[in-house]
Amino acid sequence: MVRWQPGTRERLQAAALDLFASRGYEQTTAADIAQAVGLTERTFFRHFSDKREVLFSGQDLLTEAFLGGITAAPEDAAPMELVAAALESAGELFPGERRDHSRLRQSVIDKNPALQERERHKLSGLATTIGDALRARGVAEPAATLAAESAGMVFGIAFAQWIREGEERSLTDIGLSLLAELRGLAGGESGGSSRGSQRNIQAGA
């Protein structure tokens, strides 16, 4: 009988990522992953429903981090301030020492269309959950949906920048910088510039 060891899930994740990167995702089986750490395939399936979930099992933690940031924000926080709090909280899950792991994981996903689609689906679900949390905080529509979609978009762009070779800033710093740029493009939260933008669009029509 294989002895249950602490850290089994993490060992399986590390072995899977190495195999996906070296052999290819499609060429690696659950049995291969289990064997790489001296375990059985049955043990693998105690921890993961399939080999795809090895790459996406952290989604629940990410969602919890976003929601935790929103919940902990001041009661009078504006919608985009709630988004900023959520991004800061999520960024704490990605310390600098995790960058290489995240970079390798993304390289595996980028080579497989099915994995790319799964990641898009996960991020879409994250935006929906954030929207629900914002509405629970009293943010009205369409502001709640706009802010939630902005949170998902900013996080995705920030993450892509964070794993680039040579990037040294933290994920939080990148995310907040991008959010500030987005708010600048939108003219802040006053809505004054959006009226000006509408006039410009009408003038150019």
**pLDDT band at residue 192 using 50, 70 and 90 as cut-offs:** very low
pLDDT band of residue 1 (cuts 50, 70, 90) is: very low
Residue range 185-197: average pLDDT? 51
Per-residue pLDDT, 39: 96
CATH code at 8-54 = 1.10.10.60
CA geometry: angle 124, 103, 85, nearest 5 deg: 50
Residue 20, CA atoms < 13 Å, CB-side half-sphere = 24
pLDDT score at 28? 98
Checking if the pLDDT of 3 tops 50, the result is no
Q: Indicate whether 17 pLDDT > 90.
A: yes
CA distance 141 to 134: 10
- Matching residue, tokens 């049955």: 42
| Dihedral angle computed from the Cα positions of residues 138, 93, 16 and 119, in that order, rounded to the nearest 10 degrees | 30
- pLDDT tens for 158-182 read 999 999 999 999 999 999 999 999 9
C-alpha dihedral sign at 32, 34, 36, 39: negative
Residue 99: is its pLDDT beyond 70?
A: yes
Per the CB < 8 A criterion, the answer to whether 134 and 74 are in contact is: no
Cβ neighbour number for residue 124 with a 10 Å cutoff: 12
pLDDT bin (cut points 50, 70, 90) of residue 187 is confident
pLDDT at residue 201 is higher than 80: no
The token pair at 33 is: 């992953």
Integer Cα distance of 162 and 202 in angstroms: 38
Single-letter amino acid code for the residue at 7: G
Tokens coding 90: 């999520």
Average pLDDT rounded to a whole number, residues 142-155: 96
190: pLDDT strictly greater than 50: no
Per CATH, 8-54 and 58-188 having the same topology is answered no
Residue with structure tokens 């249950």? 4
Average pLDDT over residues 43-56: 95
Stretch 46-64: mean pLDDT: 94
Annotated domain spans of the chain = 8-54, 58-188
Q: What is the CATH number of domain 58-188?
A: 1.10.357.10
Give 73-97 pLDDT, tens digit per residue: 999 999 999 999 999 999 999 999 9
- The per-residue pLDDT for range 101-146, each reduced to its tens digit, is 999 999 999 999 999 999 999 889 999 999 999 999 999 999 999 9
Residue 196 predicted with pLDDT over 90: no
